[in-house]
Amino acid sequence: RETDTDVWLTVHAQSGETQILPGAKTKTWGYNQSLLGQTIVFRSGKTYHVTLKNSLPELTTFHWHGLDVPGPFIDGGCHAPIYPGEEKEITFTVNQPAATTWLHAHPCPLTGWDVWHGLATMVYVEDDHEDNLALPHNYGVDDLPIVLQDRRFHEDNQWDYDADYDPDGTAGPTALINGTVNPSFDVTTQKLRLRFLDGSNRREWRLHLSDDLVMTQIASDGGLLPEPVQMTKCMLTCAERAEVIIDFSDYKAGDQVTLYSDDTPILIFNIKDFVADDTTLPDKLAEISYPDVDPNALVHQVVLAGTDEEITINGLKFGMMRIDDRQEIGKTEYWDITNTNDCCGGMLHPYHMHGGSFQIVSRNGQAPYPNELGYKDTVAVNPGETVRIKMKFNFAGVFMYHCHIIEHEDGGMMAQMQVY
């Protein structure tokens, strides 16, 4: 049902079977289908009435990662369980710039288990500003979601989370791209927009194309970058998003271009005939205006330490009954996120905040990378590094912040704050 201002939809967490490899189907979970889900598209300014329905044998939650929504029950972190057989309606108005966000399960401490089974899907926000930039925007033709995950297939093509579990993040040797293995895509336009999401439990993706073909990054987690950034390598850590545009003008029908992560080919582009397109990308994409920080405000500290079962955040493990920090609604304050793992060989932690987007101010006092100048909700904090961010919350309530290596999050590298 849809009016000019309101839209009703149902998101149904369910189990099923998916033909991923030849032979036996894999037992999987998904939203409104057996694995992952169809992309959900929201329009900034509209109000959504979403029925959350759980047909799984256990409780789950529906977390809108990257959406700025009021309070913990709509945000869908640990505080918002939907029990087996239950359904519940939430209502929120989308009010943020166009962006690639996502929905995933977030029951604590079973987020890793749920996401590994398939409970993750893309959620796009659209707005007029982005429409007017004339970027590739034809879903499935020149604008593709790319959900990057990895799995190990056991006997009869099944996944076995418990067997593969690793407290430093569960991973598998087989790349799973939008729930498929070894996919290819027919390119029928000169320009192609890819919306990458690292939806893996722990894997980092170091993406590059054959011939070192250039990718022009136009957006990150929270929407468009101020300016396009050209690159030949694109690195994503858990939960991060990057939108890139590839220009195939040097290729002709019959050619192939391969997308790699490290040395592994993960997606083949088969070039077909396309009409020449000499439009150029705008050099300004978006105005990023993050409010100033009150110089008297304290700087919030987050210390991510340890590996394996020894991980902590500010010396502690997650406690559902404990509030770890507080910030006033509408105020912008600095947060310093420190990864104490020893440099070179230590793990990086992808740090994520619920409750809105932040701006990256510095990395060990140096300017952030050019493709980090837009709104972010997840940032890779390298071993030995302190990343300073500016954060503003628009809604009251208790919100989580944590490492997005999902087994670190489940293992206690997570805290919660009260926005008041």
Q: Indicate which of Cu ion, ligand C2O, none lies near residue 408 (CB less than 5 to 8 Å, by partner kind).
A: Cu ion
Supply the minimum distance, in Å, between the C-beta of residue 98 and ligand C2O.
Answer: 19
Q: Which of 239, 242, 413, 417: binder of ligand C2O (CB under 6 A)?
A: 239
User: What does 79 interact with, of ligand C2O, Cu ion, none (CB < 5 to 8 A by kind)?
Assistant: none
Residue 115 or 144: the one with the smaller Cβ distance to Cu ion is 115
User: Which residues lie below 8 Å from residue 33, measured CB to CB, with a gap of 6+?
Assistant: 14, 16
Q: Where are the beta strands (DSSP E) in 221-328?
A: 223-231, 233-236, 241-247, 256-261, 264-271, 300-305, 312-313, 325-327
Q: What is the DSSP letter of 372?
A: G
CA-closest candidate to residue 148, choices 194, 199, 186, 112: 199
The site for Cu ion, by CB under 5 A, has a size of 6
Among 405, 406, 415, 417, binds Cu ion (CB under 5 A): 405
According to DSSP, the residues that pair with 391 across neighbouring strands are: 333, 358
* Subset of 53-72 contacting ligand C2O (CB under 6 A): 63, 65
Query: How many residues line the site for ligand C2O (CB under 6 A)?
Result: 11
Q: Which of 117, 352, 363, 392 binds ligand C2O (CB under 6 A)?
A: 352
Q: Considering only the C-alpha atoms of the chain, give the largest distance between any 2 of them, rounded to a whole number of Å.
A: 63
Interface with Cu ion in residues 333-352 (CB under 5 A): 349
HSE of 353, CA atoms in CB hemisphere, 13 A: 28
| Stretch binding ligand C2O (CB under 6 A), from 160-168, 179-187, 206-214, 400-408 | 400-408
Query: Using CA atoms, how far apart are residues 131 and 140, in angstroms rounded to an integer?
Result: 17
**CA–CA distance, 160 with 49 (Å, rounded to integer):** 35
38-77 binders of Cu ion (CB under 5 A):
65
Distance in angstroms (rounded) separating the CA atoms of residues 277 and 306: 50
Judge contact between 94 and 66, C-beta under 8 A. no
Interacting residue with ligand C2O among 79, 106, 195, 241 (CB under 6 A): 106
Inter-residue contact 205 to 148 (CB < 8 Å): yes
Among 191, 241, 402, 408, binds ligand C2O (CB under 6 A): 402
349 contact choice in Cu ion, ligand C2O, none (CB below 5 to 8 Å, kind-dependent) = Cu ion
Least distance from Cu ion to the Cβ atom of residue 120, Å: 12
Residues that bind Cu ion (CB under 5 A): 65, 349, 354, 403, 405, 408
Binding site for ligand C2O (CB under 6 A): 63, 65, 77, 104, 106, 239, 352, 354, 400, 402, 404
